[in-house]
Structure 1
């Protein structure tokens, strides 16, 4: 294990963007606020996070106006959020028929195929969406990606703060220190680890980052071993400065959401373990039963790009969509409140203590705030330190996300992500 790994919150946000390359440095997509053909009610439901009701409303719009591009694309997106791939493909393909050059539809359809490991099918849509490097990368990968070997891994979290670290090996090599973060997309490596693993880029691109630039490389890793689980044929990215030097990530690599969504993943903060299981129906039933016995209610899980969402509440507000992030920098803040949320909920905010940081590789200023409670299902934290980011977009994907929950909130709990059933379970104490 490498020493001297102290990261502050600013360096975590910077390193996450470096490790994930262009995907993390790109501006989050926007969606039209309203559509033609009387779909304002559907848009209002979507904005409120009532996705099933919004889906039915968009279908009614399409029955009256079959050529409504916005309704077709949004209906496809509601399916994609819940990994309902047949619905997503049907409506996104319909939207593409209406507007063959629409970049946003291409991007959503590319993500739809990516999540199903249909990389070759995703490649032309990445290109059409303007992501040339992604198109080259996924077109060049042969065979089925993320092949899972083994049934269970229980990885001790070697260090919890300032960021969690676990051990993993690359292509049969010695154990290396990896952090994990669901705000990142693919498996990412430092330049030295990539070189030691013998990786060669299938695609590359120059990325503008925090007033400078770097090179992002994309390739394929033969083997990623995480304790008793081995993943083979794993898409991987790495980065370096223009002179070929390390980008100062502070670890050998970062495990992102694309890896976790191929497994039944438990972030056992209370037990200081990362538990990974082969996602079979039997393991899902066993995990669900254990979570229910521990008092966890099943919460919905939605995925927009690599970002995880569920339902939660802030300061006693109505339950709505919130972001959830696992791993990453410990820091002190349990949640970040977006846009006017803190002001609307009359949450005490210390405007005299601005905090300079970065979000999605862009400079940002947050302020300390102190909601009386933040909650995910039965899990709650009271009078806990948070931050507010007033300039952040409240609805970067078209639906309102008032806050995102981070590392500090999760410490008393264990959290399981079931990407097959699209449920999240959070229970107090160690995982069974």
Structure 2
């Protein structure tokens, strides 16, 4: 359901690089995947073995303090883990070593955006030469005062208005109520009619694709967004003129709430209890059983470890916005996992054939789904994150877990401790 796009210092900055590179303390959580210390860190990173890859990159920097690639990768791994101080140090060092490194500029900008330091992201985005970055630089440059201001209660529980085709809750935009889908593969997206009624001004635009059709994405600043007993003020949003899956009454949703909202809270999508729970991060941390590592790729793609039957654990994404199924993978990974691919009953999505698969077991840690309906793509979707798209983020993603899998469970996303908790259901 989400729209996707994709991230000349002086001598003083360069001299700071040596100190940054020397500080190679423990910045990363373990994935629990064993790897030989002598392996190529790029290969380890591609496999999603981030802690072992980081050790390899630190060894490379120990041998060659001017290794811009190693510094950039260490900064990227730290960013995946929301280790902001380390990400800033290593990415700044990488830019000093390689002033033309566009990816490091984008990732350093994203590091600031995740901390709501939007003004610091603007000059970095202005120098990448990419239209998408220029659009967001314009947007962030128009955000005056403190962004993402939280007001009201310390926590709120908002009941689902519906579970199908996706969980949806009631919220209000500048005081006007509407029904919003929950989708962790989205940002905070409004319907164009809702944005216009709220009086939002389009500050910048960029091109995107929705349902295989080109659309114009508008970027603006929203004064007030209220959900339950919490109000968020002065926040960047986007909107498009496109049809989404209708609500049960046939009407269109007011928009989609996604990860850029959720990572400002300790957010629980309680499918079993049919409610969204938001708690302020300053007063709550995730805890309990069902804990898995959490990484955030791009600006809004949550990743963890999962398995297809006995294949795994490997990196998977968590996209709660998949309508009518519980798993996305590719034919290649389905074969590696020994899944039966139904080539006789394909469907087509955005010009790509999808073949039904029904694994006996898929799992996120101890949370197990049995005979969950899914699809294996004949090839990857161009430019889209997800299974098989190592080129999108630089590491392999074997599957995406989505709506039908999550129904017996509650998912809690802790973007401070960088863990996701999958609780309830049967193991």
Q: Secondary structure at the match of 1:319?
A: strand
Change (3 A) 1:307 1:208: closer
The alignment status of 1:201 with 2:195, answered yes or no, reads no
Q: Secondary structure at the match of 1:283?
A: coil
Q: Secondary structure at the match of 1:318?
A: strand
Output aligned runs, 1:106-145, within 5 Å. Answer: 106-129=105-128, 130=130, 131-145=133-147
Change (3 A) 1:406 1:194: same
Change (3 A) 1:39 1:390: farther
Q: 1:416 matched to which residue of 2?
A: 412
**Cα deviation, residue 364, structure 1:** 2.4
**Cα deviation, residue 159, structure 1:** 0.8
Alignment TM-score, normalising by the size of structure 1: 0.83
Correspondence for 1:259 among 247, 258, 261: 261
Question: What is the alpha-carbon distance in structure 2 between the residues aligned to residue 151 and residue 136 of structure 1?
Answer: 32
Q: 1:338, 1:401 within 8 Å by CA — same for their partners in 2?
A: no
Question: What is the alpha-carbon distance in structure 2 between the residues aligned to residue 206 and residue 301 of structure 1?
Answer: 30
Q: 2:230 matched to which residue of 1?
A: 229
Q: 1:339, 1:402 within 8 Å by CA — same for their partners in 2?
A: no
Q: 2:17 matched to which residue of 1?
A: none
Q: 1:330 matched to which residue of 2?
A: 323
Output aligned runs, 1:87-166, within 5 Å. Answer: 87-129=86-128, 130=130, 131-149=133-151, 150-166=153-169
Q: 1:322, 1:405 within 8 Å by CA — same for their partners in 2?
A: yes
Question: What is the alpha-carbon distance in structure 1 between the residues aligned to residue 236 and residue 378 of structure 2?
Answer: 36
Question: What is the alpha-carbon distance in structure 2 between the residues aligned to residue 123 and residue 39 of structure 1?
Answer: 39
**Cα deviation, residue 48, structure 1:** 2.3
Residues 334-343 or 70-79, more deviating: 334-343
Q: Secondary structure at the match of 2:311?
A: coil
Unaligned runs of 5+ in 2: 8-36, 245-251, 381-387
Q: 2:78, 2:87 within 8 Å by CA — same for their partners in 1?
A: yes
Unaligned runs of 5+ in 1: 1-12, 18-23, 30-37, 241-246
Segments of 4+ in structure 1 off by > 4 A? 206-212
Question: What is the alpha-carbon distance in structure 2 between the residues aligned to residue 71 and residue 356 of structure 1?
Answer: 40
**Cα deviation, residue 340, structure 1:** 1.0
Question: What is the alpha-carbon distance in structure 1 between the residues aligned to residue 74 and residue 46 of structure 2?
Answer: 13
Question: What is the alpha-carbon distance in structure 2 between the residues aligned to residue 208 and residue 386 of structure 1?
Answer: 23
**Cα deviation, residue 213, structure 1:** 3.7
Question: What is the alpha-carbon distance in structure 2 between the residues aligned to residue 345 and residue 205 of structure 1?
Answer: 39
Alignment TM-score, normalising by the size of structure 2: 0.84
Question: What is the alpha-carbon distance in structure 1 between the residues aligned to residue 90 and residue 202 of structure 2?
Answer: 34
Question: What is the alpha-carbon distance in structure 1 between the residues aligned to residue 113 and residue 156 of structure 2?
Answer: 25
Q: 1:239 matched to which residue of 2?
A: 240
**Cα deviation, residue 391, structure 1:** 1.2
Output aligned runs, 1:273-288, within 5 Å. Answer: 273-280=275-282, 282-284=283-285, 287-288=286-287
Correspondence for 1:184 among 180, 183, 186: 186
What CA deviation, in whole Å up to 9, does each residue of 1:65-114 have, x standing for no partner?
22222211111111000000111111111111122122211111111111
Q: 1:303 matched to which residue of 2?
A: 296
Output aligned runs, 1:46-57, within 5 Å. Answer: 46-57=45-56
Q: 2:32 matched to which residue of 1?
A: none
Q: 1:334, 1:384 within 8 Å by CA — same for their partners in 2?
A: yes
The alignment status of 1:389 with 2:388, answered yes or no, reads no
Question: What is the alpha-carbon distance in structure 2 between the residues aligned to residue 390 and residue 308 of structure 1?
Answer: 24
Question: What is the alpha-carbon distance in structure 2 between the residues aligned to residue 82 and residue 72 of structure 1?
Answer: 16
Q: 1:160, 1:330 within 8 Å by CA — same for their partners in 2?
A: no
Question: What is the alpha-carbon distance in structure 2 between the residues aligned to residue 58 and residue 339 of structure 1?
Answer: 32
